[in-house]
Amino acid sequence: MLRPGDPVPRDAAVALVLRVNGGTPELLFVRRAEYPGDPWSGHVAFPGGRHEPDDPTPWDTAARETWEETGLDLRRHARLLGTLDDLYPRTPSLPPIVVRPHVALLEVEAELRLSDELAAAFWVPVRRFAEPGFATTSTVQARGHALTVPSFVHEGHTIWGMTHRILTDLLQRWPPPVAE
């Protein structure tokens, strides 16, 4: 939430990319590459990034960033299911941004081609998030401090922070409404 005197945030957008694998819905996560000075360096996230002047809409931002980072062409091979609530970072030391999450269903089998911005990408079956013990707390390092945070851990990847908040919003709405 913005308060008087806060800097005007930059717009950003992410894509929560779903696919159906053998009848099981799965969600795509990426792990950012390590870069000095990047506040999200090494974090697990959804593909996405900051709005650019040539992006007509937040969905175009999410689709462009997903293409650049993973090689998935959401405009051609996915159906936009909807958007989730906008989020702001909760930590004042992070850049002022507002993130619009978009949920999209990948409608074709596609190979991931990771850019240098990413260290890894992985799919998680959505049902895992409801398994007993999958929701946990983790101690993470952020900007030189150890923080104990709500999280999910999948095969050594810790999902926390803004990504955890976006995922929690999605899971509270799951299953998504069926589009006509």
Query: What's the pTM value of the predicted model, to 2 decimals?
Result: 0.89
pLDDT (0 to 100) of residue 123: 97
Number of domains in the chain: 1
pLDDT (0 to 100) of residue 121: 97
For residue 177, being part of any structural domain is answered with no
Token pair for 85:
């609530």
For residue 62, being part of any structural domain is answered with yes
pLDDT (0 to 100) of residue 40: 65
For residue 172, being part of any structural domain is answered with no
For residue 102, being part of any structural domain is answered with yes
Mind listing the pLDDT tens digit of every residue in the chain (180 residues)? 555 666 667 899 999 999 999 999 999 999 999 877 776 678 999 999 999 999 999 999 999 999 999 999 999 999 999 999 999 877 666 677 899 999 999 999 999 999 999 999 999 999 999 999 999 999 988 777 788 999 999 999 999 999 999 999 999 998 755 555
Per-residue pLDDT tens digits for 132-169: 999 999 998 877 778 899 999 999 999 999 999 999 99
For residue 91, being part of any structural domain is answered with yes
Give the DSSP letter string of the chain. Answer: ---TTPPPPEEEEEEEEEEEETTEEEEEEEEEPP-TT-TTTT-EE-SEEE--TT-SSHHHHHHHHHHHHH---HHHHEEEEEE---B--SSTTS--EEEEEEEEEE-S-------TTEEEEEEEEGGGGGSTTTEEEEEEEETTEEEEEEEEEETTEEE-HHHHHHHHHHHHHPSPPPP-
For residue 93, being part of any structural domain is answered with yes
For residue 50, being part of any structural domain is answered with yes
Residue 55 structural domain: 10-126
Could you tell me the CATH number of the domain that includes residue 53? 3.90.79.10
pLDDT (0 to 100) of residue 176: 58
pLDDT (0 to 100) of residue 6: 62
Alpha-carbon gap, residue 34 to 129, rounded angstroms: 26
